[in-house]
Amino acid sequence: MAGNGDVDASTDYFVPVVISEPREATDKAGKPAVVLDCVYNASLKSRTLKDPAFKTFLIELAFQRVEAQWHILLSRQIGTPNIASKGKLQPRTVSIPVALYPEGHPHRALGGGDQQQRQAKLIEEIDSPSIPGAATHRTQKPKGILKSPATTTPVALPPPPDFSWEKQGTGVQITLRVPGLERAHIPSAALDIEPRRLLLSLPPLYALDLDLDLPDAALPGAARLSGASAHQALLLKRHPRLDVDGARAEWRVADGVLVIHA
C-alpha cells in the first residue's frame, strides 16, 4: 500500500473503518434492500480517485469487516449505480480509541493521569463534521438516595505485558514481554487461548484479557493496552481466529518473554 513490495499490509498498514448496523431501505425501483454503511476518513477519497488498486483495497476491506462483524457472506460481484447513496444517510457518532491518534496529538493527553483516569478517558465520542445534526454525547452525575461507602479501597490490577504479533504460516506468533519474570513465577501462571480471546494471569507481575470480539473503540481500554501494544491488538483483531487446537506456548525466562503460537 506504500507503493512498494516491502510492506506487509497485515502488520504495517491499518485503515480504520466504522461499520453501521443493517437497515432496511429501497432502491430506485422500489425493491427492498438491506443497507450497511462503511465509514472511512474523508482524507482517503483523493487517493481512491487516482489509485484504482487502493480503491479496490478499501472495498474489499469493507466486505471483510462487514462479514466479520455481522457473520454474513457477501458476493464479490460489485455494482456501482449512479446514486449518492442507497436510502437516506443517517447521522452517526464515532468512537475513536486514543491509541489511534499520532504521538503529539492533543487528544493523546486524554490517556494521561492515573490508571482509573486513563480508562475513563480512553474513548472520546466525536460528531462527524460532514454529517449535520449528529447527536452529541453528554454524561450526568447519577442521582440516588444511597450514599457512597465511607471508605473504598481500589484494587490495583497487575499491568498488562507489552504485546506484539506477526504472521506465521496460516497462524500467528504472539509475543508478550514480561520483564522481571523468574522461573518461580511460572507455576502460578495461567494462560487461556480461545478462538477470539487471549487471557494471561501471571501474579503478581502481569495480567491480560484481550477480547478480539470487542469493538475497536473498546478493545485497547478493556485490555488496558496503549501505544504500540494497542495498535498491535487492533491489527490482530483483523485475523480470523486463533488456532486453539494447534496452539502452543513457551516461556523464555532469560529473554523475559512468553511466545505463543496459535
Pinpoint the alpha helices (H) of the chain: 9-12, 45-50, 52-70, 115-121, 219-223, 227-236
Q: Are 230 and 97 in contact (CB under 8 A)?
A: yes
Average pLDDT, stretch 217-237? 87
DSSP assignment letter at 92: -
Burial class of residue 165, CB neighbours in 10 A (0-12, 13-18, 19+): buried
CA–CA dist 210, 205 (Å, integer):
17
Give this prediction's pTM.
0.47
Q: Are 137 and 127 in contact (CB under 8 A)?
A: no
Name the pLDDT band for 73 (thresholds 50, 70, 90): confident
Per residue in 166-223, pLDDT (tens digit) is: 988 888 999 999 998 888 888 888 888 999 999 999 989 999 999 998 888 788 888 8
DSSP assignment letter at 203: T
The mean of the pLDDT values for the chain is 76
